């Protein structure tokens, strides 16, 4: 299977096959994760939303409270969706799921890694080559959240009986600039990884009626090191969009993508390190790529070669 046209100019950043000895080659996917329904990002049941105090922007060091989208919340939801894609395309594939039944032989394990005890061989371990980072809200906490109250309704009288409680929730349109880094991927791993990230839509502590998020791919940075972080990007966007004014609801996704794209190009010029950048039609090309059984079978074959290499050591 040939590399798609939109990636041909970046072949030097891909490996022929995944390997535990990965070279210094990185592809950073720059995403805007935009909340489309009330969402709850927290780590403990009895705690409020995850927050942190950070500078207002790159020019103003005064501190503000921002919402936090932990990398664990991103990765776990996206890995689960990747496994669903495999089951859709290859219904008879070996069952693989978090956290107690990782197969270490599928494309998802090949990228995300894992540990498994194999009878007679000891422990087999795959290191993750898809690297996540915690993301931070563009807007200040107070303007990005609301307190929701839940009532009990008597089914017979249809009247409100009593309040069941309340909880803090993140408001729609709150945006988290995010970076997901692929270390020494094959081109197939990059396409597959980006596809399942774009398709994932539910995140957080409660996903039955909350947590709807849309992921938008702004661009890809190809380099020999990680050139940008979510904090860098958030503060740079805040240079032009005051986080205290809560302007997220007043700006469209396309406008925000264009603003971010321009900022990325400026950052790469300032870094003055060897790199390439791709943004034109990248999200459309990834969404339109044909994820068929032949493609998935080739990825299985690549992972098998890597695990055979590890077991032979």
| Secondary structure (H, E, C), 149-164 | EEEEECCCCCCEEEEE
146-173 pLDDT tens trace = 888 765 555 555 555 555 567 889 999 9
Cα-Cα-Cα-Cα dihedral sign, residues 252, 237, 220, 181: negative
Average pLDDT over all residues of the chain: 89
In eight-state DSSP terms, residue 145 is E
What are the angstrom distances between the C-alpha of 143 and each of 64, 87, 91, 146, 212? 11, 40, 45, 8, 19
What's the rounded Cα separation, in Å, for the pair 274 and 12? 12
- State yes or no: cis peptide before 174, omega within 30 of 0: no
- Is residue 35 within a helix (H) or strand (E), and if so which, with residue range? strand 26-35
Residue-level pLDDT at 163: 55
Q: Considering only residues 120 and 3, tell me which one the structure prediction assigns the higher pLDDT.
A: 3
274-303 pLDDT tens trace = 999 999 999 999 999 999 999 999 999 999
Residue-level pLDDT at 165: 64
- pTM for the full predicted model: 0.91
Residue-level pLDDT at 123: 64
Within 10 Å of residue 129's Cβ, how many Cβ atoms? 23
How far is Cα of residue 232 from the mean position of the Cα atoms in its chain? 17
Residue-level pLDDT at 95: 86
What's the rounded Cα separation, in Å, for the pair 115 and 124? 6
């Amino acid at each position: 299977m040939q590399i798609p046209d939109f990636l041909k100019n970046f072949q030097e950043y891909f490996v022929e096959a995944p390997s535990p000895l990965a070279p210094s080659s990185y592809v950073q996917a720059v995403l805007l994760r935009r909340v489309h329904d009330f969402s709850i990002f927290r780590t403990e049941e009895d705690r409020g939303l995850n927050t942190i105090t950070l500078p207002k922007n790159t020019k103003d060091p005064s501190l503000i409270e921002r919402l936090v989208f932990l990398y664990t919340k991103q990765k776990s939801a996206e890995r689960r969706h990747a496994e669903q894609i495999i089951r859709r395309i290859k219904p008879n594939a070996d069952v693989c799921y978090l956290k107690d039944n990782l197969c270490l032989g599928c494309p998802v394990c090949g990228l995300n890694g894992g540990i498994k005890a194999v009878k007679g061989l000891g422990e087999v371990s795959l290191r993750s080559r898809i690297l996540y980072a915690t993301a931070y809200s563009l807007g200040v906490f107070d303007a990005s959240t609301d307190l929701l109250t839940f009532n009990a309704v008597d089914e017979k009288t249809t009247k409100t009986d009593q309040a069941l409680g309340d909880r803090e929730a993140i408001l729609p349109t709150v945006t988290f600039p995010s970076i997901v880094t692929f270390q020494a991927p094959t081109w197939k791993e990059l396409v597959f990884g980006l596809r399942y990230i774009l398709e994932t839509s539910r995140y957080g502590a409660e996903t039955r009626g909350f947590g709807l998020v849309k992921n938008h791919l702004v661009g890809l940075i190809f380099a020999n090191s990680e050139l940008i972080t979510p904090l860098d990007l958030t503060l740079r966007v805040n240079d032009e969009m005051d986080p205290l004014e809560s302007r997220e609801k007043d700006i469209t996704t396309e406008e925000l993508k264009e603003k971010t794209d321009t900022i990325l190009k400026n950052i790469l010029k300032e870094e003055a390190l060897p790199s390439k950048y791709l943004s034109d039609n990248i999200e459309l090309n990834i969404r339109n790529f044909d994820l068929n059984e032949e493609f998935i079978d080739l990825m299985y074959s690549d992972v098998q070669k890597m695990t055979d290499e590890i077991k032979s050591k």
